[in-house]
């Protein structure tokens, strides 16, 4: 997705967070289906149906190994859907459940972000308040085995073995740097609450909010984050850095809602497709800008995609924010998840969307107002140094400096033209 090979991060909580991106090698602005899946057409084109039947028969009769009918038909369906575009996919019942859970912000598990690294699955981050954090797992811990099953570098296997019902237990053997002996942890799975939003004060009057994905709770989480920043900065917020780097998207309505948090009025996104449901326009709700017009900058990069691009495009087109970083991914389509009768679902591209200016970003991305050099990703920033974020992260540093400049210019404009001495 970005210029380097993106790290696959899974939240081991019964589902892979951002599973849609991992599943289809892309990212999505997702809409739940507002109607049941349409019934199949009464007839199929005879020649195409005959071709399919002939190929099916030859495989069943002549293929070197016997193939189960169910498996063969499911693979045929997957091939038909994935051949349409990189973002459409057939989901079996388990995949459908995982993609549903990935958008809720709450699901059962042990609460670990894990990443494949140097032939092992390592802990990237134990989620705040999770069983993993309470048990004492630390970033960098390598998972050797789960319930006696050796994991190696298999991220999918690690995720699979750590899934389970709340209240059940799972035993992890861990290799920790600096410890000669392997460590054993027995964790009791629980319902883990995962926030996609984090905030901090960069310096008095200037805030920072990072959104890692767009779930059903993101709009509420962003609103609460702004309120906490206002509480912590009694003299008021003079500006905000909104970090959307490496945010692969998620729920369309959540992206629209976040843009609405910073806009007073106007169109946020419009879309066009073949069906009435695929053609829509979403506007700001006129509830007001929670920042009260304070300067805003948005950090983006090649991993900023889908719903994240909707937010960035809306704020840029309305002149509400300056974009800083690198060109975004360029995914200008909307996928609708349609439940099927047997328990699975169809994730199908149904619309192309447009920014408020009417531009399509499909395959193009959005070029920032201030282009930074180098593929800087948030995960590459040294968080262990103890230095402030605005010092160790060049993009955040540029964002903060830009906010100060914009605030100064706005104050000068409000004060009117400078006075001049009269020459007698």
Q: pLDDT (tens digit, 9 = 90+) per residue, 389-422?
A: 989 999 999 999 999 987 665 554 455 554 443 3
* pLDDT tens-digit map of 79-118: 999 999 989 999 988 788 877 777 776 778 898 877 777 7
Q: Tell me what pLDDT residue 199 has.
A: 95
The answer to which of 17-21, 205-209, 329-333 has the lowest mean pLDDT is 17-21
pLDDT of residue 323: 98
Q: So what's the pLDDT on residue 116?
A: 77
Catalytic residue among 243, 246, 317, 377: 317
Of these residues, 331, 333, 347, 351, which one is catalytic? Answer: 331
Cβ neighbors of 135 (< 8 A, separation 6 or more) are 185, 186, 187
Q: What are the residue ranges spanned by the domains of the chain? A: 106-193, 197-334+342-412
Pick the catalytic residue: 102, 196, 213, 306? 306
pTM here is 0.75
Of 40-54, 194-208, 294-308, 358-372, the poorest mean pLDDT is in: 40-54
Mean per-residue pLDDT, 172-201:
91
Second CATH level (architecture) for the domain 197-334+342-412 = Alpha-Beta Complex (3.90)
Mean pLDDT lowest among 23-32, 188-197, 209-218, 396-405: 23-32
Per-residue pLDDT, 109: 82
Q: Cα(296)–Cα(238) distance, rounded to whole angstroms?
A: 9
Q: Give residue 150's pLDDT band: very low, low, confident or very high (50, 70, 90).
A: very high
Domain 106-193 carries which CATH code?
A: 2.30.42.10
User: Residue 386 above 50 pLDDT?
Assistant: yes
The mean pLDDT of 17-44, rounded to a whole number, is: 46
For residue 331, indicate whether it is catalytic: yes
Q: What is the mean pLDDT of residues 15-21?
A: 28
pLDDT recorded at residue 127:
78
pLDDT of residue 3: 32
Report, as an integer, the average pLDDT of 236-254.
94
The yes-or-no verdict on residue 4 having pLDDT over 90 is no
Across the chain, mean pLDDT equals 83
Greater confidence (151 vs 15) lies with 151
Identify whether 317 is a catalytic site residue.
yes
């Amino acid at each position: 997705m970005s210029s380097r090979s993106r790290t696959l991060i899974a939240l081991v909580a019964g589902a892979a967070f951002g599973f849609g991106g991992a599943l289809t090698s892309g990212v999505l602005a997702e809409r739940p289906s507002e109607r049941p899946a349409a019934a199949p057409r009464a007839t199929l084109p005879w020649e195409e149906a005959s071709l399919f039947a002939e190929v099916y028969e030859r495989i069943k009769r002549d293929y070197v190994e016997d193939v189960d009918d169910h498996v063969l038909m499911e693979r045929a369906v997957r091939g038909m859907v994935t051949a349409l575009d990189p973002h459409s996919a057939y989901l079996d019942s388990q995949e459908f459940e995982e993609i549903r859970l990935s958008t809720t912000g709450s699901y059962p598990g042990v609460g670990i972000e894990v990443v494949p690294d140097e032939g092992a699955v390592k802990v990237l981050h134990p989620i705040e308040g999770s069983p993993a954090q309470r048990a004492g797992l630390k970033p960098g811990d390598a998972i050797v085995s789960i319930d006696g099953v050796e994991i190696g570098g298999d991220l999918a296997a690690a995720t699979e073995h750590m899934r389970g019902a709340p209240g059940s237990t799972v035993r992890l053997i861990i290799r920790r740097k600096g410890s000669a002996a392997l460590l054993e942890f027995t964790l009791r799975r629980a319902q883990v609450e995962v926030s996609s939003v984090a905030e901090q004060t960069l310096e008095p009057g200037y805030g920072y909010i990072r959104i890692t994905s767009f779930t059903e709770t993101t709009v509420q989480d962003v609103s609460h984050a702004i309120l906490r920043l206002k509480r912590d900065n009694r003299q008021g917020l003079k500006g905000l850095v909104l970090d959307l780097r490496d945010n692969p998207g998620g729920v369309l309505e959540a992206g629209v809602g976040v843009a609405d948090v910073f806009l007073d009025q106007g169109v946020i996104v419009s879309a066009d497709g073949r069906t009435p449901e695929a053609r829509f326009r979403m506007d700001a709700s006129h509830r007001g800008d929670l920042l009260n017009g304070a300067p805003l900058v948005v950090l983006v990069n090649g991993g900023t995609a889908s719903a994240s691009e909707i937010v960035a495009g809306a704020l840029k087109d309305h002149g509400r924010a300056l974009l800083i970083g690198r060109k975004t991914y360029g995914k200008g389509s909307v996928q609708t998840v349609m439940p099927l009768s047997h328990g699975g679902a169809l994730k199908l591209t149904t619309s192309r969307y447009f920014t408020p200016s009417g531009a399509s970003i499909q395959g193009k991305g959005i070029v920032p107002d201030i282009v930074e050099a180098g593929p800087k990703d948030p995960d590459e920033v040294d968080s262990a140094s103890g230095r402030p974020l605005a010092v160790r992260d060049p993009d955040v540093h540029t964002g903060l400096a830009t906010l100060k400049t914009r605030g100064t210019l706005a104050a000068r404009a409000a004060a009117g033209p400078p006075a001049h001495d009269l020459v007698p």
